[in-house]
Amino acid sequence: MNCFKSKIKPVQDEIFDLMDMNGDNVVGKNEVALVAKYVLEADIERAEIYLQSLQTSDPVKHIEKYVGKTVTKTELKQLYPRVAHEIWLNQILPELKRKEIQRLKQSI
């Protein structure tokens, strides 16, 4: 055995050989169901970790990952689909209007 060969490769070979016992490169339904269960669990675990990191992140720093430090209207328009239209209409737009009215009142 090559000393540079990964230690993972032999384990992978054994796993995939056991899933394809007759060598036709087709995995049976039982094997797919077994592997799918573990893949789904791993995906859920990764999603939970990502959700925790999102919940503790700063909102501005979060969008800066997508648009950079200087945010343009064009970049914000690209983020538009990430938020439901109803939220833009019922929450964001009214808040922007309130802030603009407040800004105008202060400038008088």
pLDDT in tens, 82-103: 999 999 999 999 999 999 999 9
More confident residue, 16 or 48: 48
Q: Is the pLDDT of residue 21 over 80?
A: no
Q: In this structure, are residues 75 and 67 in contact, taking their beta carbons and an 8 Å threshold?
A: yes
Nearest to 25 by CA among 17, 36, 13, 33: 17
Confidence band for 81, pLDDT divided at 50, 70 and 90: very high
What local confidence, expressed as pLDDT, does residue 90 receive?
A: 97
Average pLDDT over the chain, rounded to an integer: 88
**Contact of 85 with 79, CB cutoff 8 Å:** no
Q: Residue 50 pLDDT more than 90?
A: yes
Q: Is the pLDDT of residue 1 over 80?
A: no
